[in-house]
Structures are given as structure tokens and as C-alpha cells.
Amino acid sequence: MSVVPPGGTPGPVLRVHDFLAESYANGPGKRAVIWMQGCPLACPRCWNPGLQDPGGGRAVGIESLVGRLLALPDIEGLTISGGEPTEQAAPLALLLETVRRQTDLSVLLFSGRTKARIKAMAGGSRLLAATDVLVDGPYDHRLANADGAWPASANQNILFLTDRYTIFDFADLPGLEIFIRPDGTIVTTGILGVGSIACL
Ligand code: SF4
């Protein structure tokens, strides 16, 4: 998919549900978060059901997303959540590769798919190569970590794909964050939260 800016050439886009400029509950340090729109995995008691529809959210140009990240000088990293981010593996890899080239932000990726499954997908190896930490596997409510510890359910894995972080960086993360945006929109996020409420 691509969009054509007025008088410009088409650029790659991602189907995105929401963007949060500041979070402390989606990985180590202060992070921006992008929630990808669309997920076919249908986990029972999905904690982000509003993100399953692949036609929901908005198409946002990768250049626009990179610009928003570059405007946040004091964040440590970027977290990609969903929805199922690997449904858009190739354009998402393009975003993360651009982030790698232009910033020193760390990248944390959530996926309901396993690392092996992602690697076998078109664009999957590129996606993994641009990721520092992958939290993989489907959310299973029967194995949910009720105390807010990572990962959200015990069947998931926190996989360190680079040496940027260790498990100790995930020991004391807040389980829940609630933000009230300037327009009054409430965003709840974190392992104990229910995802993002507002749309981009
Ligand atoms: S992977 Fe996430 S968004 Fe998709 S069905 Fe499971 S809990 Fe819901």
C-alpha cells in the first residue's frame, strides 16, 4: 500500500491504530509506542479486540512516523505492539530499518507469532534484524501474569536479539499506565492494561 502526498510520489505506509509519544510500561525506559492495526490470530479474550480489523485505524506514511519519532529527543526506544505487527512485516521492516539508520533508539517488538514463524515470513528476517527485543507467542489468558510481570502470559518469551538489554531491564516496569491527552482522550496501557483506546 502507498499514499500519494499532494504533488509528491507515493510512499510506503503502515496501517496504524495509535501512536503514543511517551510510555514507561511498554519496555525499558521512556519509549514511543506504535500500535499496528489488524490481527487474524483471534486469541480468546484478546486484550485489544478493537485492533483486529485490518481495515480499521489509519494508513500512515512511514516518513511521517519517522518524523514523529525524530521530534521526540529524549526517548530511549520504540515499541511496536498490536494488533499483529507481522501482518505488515515488509513495510514495518522498512520503518525499523529507517529508525536504525537515523537514530540510536532501541526497538521492542510484540508478536503473537513465534520467532521461527516470523523468520519464515516474507520480510520477517529483516524485521528481526532490526529488533533488539522480541516478545513472541500468542497471549493466553489462562496463563496471564496477574501481577504485571513480563511477559503478559507465561507461554510467551522475551527474546534478546541484540545485547542492548537483559532480563533485568524488564524487572520493575510499571504494570499499568493511564494517560489523559490534551483533548481529554484517555489511554490505558501496560501489561495490566487493555491496550490503547484512542485512534491516531
Ligand atoms: S495477538 Fe493480540 S491483538 Fe491479536 S488476537 Fe491475540 S491478543 Fe488480540
One-letter amino acid of 156: Q
Would you say residue 3 has pLDDT above 70?
Answer: no
Joined grid coordinates for residue 187: 489511554
Give residue-wise pLDDT tens across range 158-177: 999 999 999 999 998 998 89
How far apart are alpha carbons 61 and 138 in whole angstroms?
A: 28
Measured in angstroms, how far is the CA atom of residue 31 from the centroid of ligand 1? Answer: 21
Instruction: Identify the residue with better confidence: 182 or 76.
Output: 76
Query: Is residue 159 within 8 Å of 135, Cβ to Cβ?
Result: yes
Q: What is the mean pLDDT of the chain?
A: 89
SS3 assignment, position 23: strand
Query: H helices within 38-110, ranges in order?
Result: 62-70, 89-102
Task: Supply the residue whose CA is at minimum distance from atom 3 of ligand 1.
Answer: 83
Look up the CATH number of domain 2-189.
3.20.20.70
Task: Supply the residue whose CA is at minimum distance from atom 1 of ligand 1.
Answer: 112
Query: Is residue 53 within 8 Å of 61, Cβ to Cβ?
Result: no
The residue with cell 490505558 is 188
- Confidence band, pLDDT 50/70/90 cuts, at residue 10: low
Would you say residue 200 has pLDDT above 50?
Answer: no
Measured in angstroms, how far is the CA atom of residue 27 from the centroid of ligand 1? Answer: 18
- With a pLDDT cut of 90, the percent of the chain lying above it is 68
For 157, the enclosing helix (H) or strand (E) is: strand 157-160
Residue positions counted in the chain? 200
Residue ranges covered by each domain of the chain: 2-189
Query: Is residue 25 within 8 Å of 18, Cβ to Cβ?
Result: no
Quick one: which atom of ligand 1 is closest to the CA of 82? Answer: 3
- Confidence band, pLDDT 50/70/90 cuts, at residue 152: confident
pLDDT at 144: 85
